[in-house]
Structure 1
Amino acid sequence: MSQLIQEEKPVRKGSALRLVETRTLSRTDWLAVRRTGIGGSDAAAAVGLNPYKSALELWLEKTGRDAELAQPDPHDTTEPVYWGTLLEPIVAAAYTQQTGNRVRKVNAVLQHPTIPYMLANLDREIVGVPGLQILECKTAGEFGAKLWRDGVPEYVQLQVQHQLAVTGKRAADVAVLLCGQQLTVHRIERDDELIARLIPLEVQFWQYVTSDTPPPADGSESADRALRCLYPGNAGVTVDFTNDRRLSATFADLVAVRAEIEAREQQEAKSKQTIQQAMGDASRAVFETGEISFKRSKDSAGVDLKRLLADHPELESQYAITKPGSRRFLVSI
């Protein structure tokens, strides 16, 4: 697991508080409660270790600035969140069948006994098994299953350690349904040393929230989305960084990296074309350290929009839409 920080602080263990009962709570109200703290699924993003969400995007959510960000529709069957919610009880039932361990719903948002903004929403509680109290249910499709090849992904491990920290419990099982047909179960024991490093980082993130200060961007696509949402653009305004040595050095690094990328992309294209030329019409080439597939894809159907509008110009105004412009990051030297 990636290093968090080396500083350790004593972690108080105790029973979690039941902050809000969720049995009759609407999804809107549940999301509002989630904004009041850091939940288990937020933990990895808060410390910069979530492959899907940056600390900056999480900060937008917690400060109510995420209205312009694309939100997954829990009722859309093409969204992973839909299938995760739908299959959660099935995964829990399959876990019981496979292990013999009984589980039950908690029906509450739990709160750390001494750190009020550390929250947890448990999928299930395991009953009657000494030293094992939490079940986390996951689903993974074809792409997501790759992240589970070597065990529980780091961001899920952090989610579970956060839950163990909030509840004071000793261990959890993570049951994951891979590609809809294989259930695997992983045991995660409480790691007090990791929790002692995790909590100060969560405290640091929450200070960004309470002080209304955005955390630094991390170079991810998530951070890029967050920045475009946070700063949509103010045409005609120029900022002068000529006397800012740090930002001027960052700009110089950017220019140098872009030049290096361009040179490497040219070398990549040349190497690719050399192999393509050697392959000719062959569809596969084998090398000492790997292989290349170079096949023609299937034909696809489309619409010749330009011709359609030429034949039926009245349709252009009838179906015209306006797409909002996005900020373009252009470098000049």
Structure 2
Amino acid sequence: MTIHTPTGVLLGSYTPGTPEWEQARGGLCITATEIAAVMNLSPWSNPFVLWHKKSGLPVPPFVVTSQVEWGNRLEPAVAAKWQDEHEGYCVEPTGTWRHRHRDWQRATPDRILTTSQGAVTELLEVKTSPTGEGWENGVPLHYYCQIQWQLDTLGLQRCHVAVLISGHDYREHVVEYDETDAKLMRERAERFLDSVRNGQRPDIDASTSTYDTLRRQVDRFTAEDVEIPGPIASRYEVTHQQLKAAETEHTHAKSLLLDALGGGRNATHLGRRIAYRTAHEDGTTRSLQPAR
């Protein structure tokens, strides 16, 4: 059965990490997982890091954390739960798609919802989260961007979202296609790709991922002395001194708090938890953590 959508062209189904998968997502294109970085809304990346990646320059490697691993392992189970709750839908895995008229616009939805004739009617995204943070009022913004990009690529109007929080809290959401938001993202993506073609690097921001990307640019290491502009040198020296002072003060504050906590676990103030203690088996303190 041939799968078809209003504007999507199926490139194929690839195993993540294989050369075929990298090729389908590589080059001067923007995927659904990258559009939030273009919009500077991603918790994992940003325009600076993505620009280096698209320019063929070194970037920090993707790390398969335990959260990522278990998210992948649980995806089929969460998708099956959604299908159990919605009789009449045909839920199928899919592959990587491109827009029919914009080859640079790519998307790999988690699941597609099809008719018996092979027409894709809607999408299903499957997520897992260790906490409910960000899901209080619907779908987090970076996932919203991802979903709008998928809908815009395939020419569809609705995406269902199934999320499993803390391993037991199952929730569902629906995201409708928003033409205005999709147009804004396309314009930003096209400007971003132009900046890659023209060698116009984004500004350096304060994120750790930007710093880690700069650390990986091997051509920056020489044995020569380099004269640094005054504002940059002053900012580094002043903030370093401030950091050392803040660390010393924070250590003092932790000592005072730990002493005041005594044998308790949770430190509260006016009914609000401000920190908690984790302990070794012998009862000694392992760490003092700020409340989330």
TM-score of the aligned structures, taking structure 1 as reference length? 0.69
- Give aligned-pair identity as a percent: 23
Aligned residue pairs: how many?
A: 273
Q: Which is strand-richer, 1 or 2? A: 2
Distance 1:118 1:263, change over 3 A: same
In 2, distance between residues paired with 1:84 and 1:294? Answer: 27
Structure 1 contact 139–177 (Cα < 8 Å) conserved: yes
Cα root mean square deviation, aligned: 3.3
Corresponding position: 1:125 with 2:138: no
Q: Deviations over 1:241-293 (max 9, x none)?
A: 44xxxxx435444444445555555554454444455x274435543253455
Q: What corresponds to 1:157 in structure 2? A: 144
1:52 corresponds to which residue? 44
CA distance in 2, matches of 1:155, 1:24: 24
CA distance in 2, matches of 1:266, 1:193: 49
- Does the 8 Å CA contact 1:101/1:126 hold for their aligned counterparts? no
1:137 is matched with 126
Deviations 1:46-96 (A, max 9, x none): 221101122233233333434x733345xxxx6444333333332222111
How far apart are the structure 1 equivalents of 2:276 and 2:8? 59
Q: Distance in 2 between matches of 1:82 and 1:291?
A: 31
Unaligned runs of 5+ in 1: 1-13, 243-247, 301-333
Post-superposition offset of 1:29: 0.8
Q: CA deviation at 1:151?
A: 2.3
| Partner Cα separation in structure 1 for residue 13 and residue 256 of structure 2 | 62
Q: What is aligned with 2:203? A: 216
Q: Does the alignment pair 1:42 with 2:20?
A: no
Query: Which protein shows a greater Rg?
Result: 1
In the TM superposition, residue 170 of structure 1 has moved relative to its aligned partner by 1.2
Q: Report what 1:166 is aligned to.
A: 153
After TM superposition, give the deviation of residue 31 of structure 1 in Å: 1.5
Matches within 5 A, 1:170-181: 170-181=157-168
Between the aligned partners of 2:275 and 2:15, the Cα distance in structure 1 is: 54
Instruction: Give the structure-2-normalised TM-score.
Output: 0.77
Post-superposition offset of 1:97:
0.7
Aligned residue in 2 for 1:310: none
Paired with 1:24 and 1:265, the residues of 2 have a C-alpha distance of 45
- Aligned 8 A contact 2:9 2:100 in 1: no
Matches within 5 A, 1:184-263: 184-231=171-218, 233-242=220-229, 248-263=230-245
Pairing of 1:283-302 with structure 2 (within 5 A): 283=264, 285-288=267-270, 290-291=272-273, 295=277, 297-298=279-280
Question: Using a 3 Å threshold, how does the CA distance of structure 1 residues 241 and 271 change in structure 2: closer, same or farther?
Answer: closer
> Does the 8 A contact of 1:45 with 1:58 survive in 2?
yes
Cα gap change, 1:24 to 1:217, in 2 (>3 Å): closer
1:22 aligns with 2:4: no
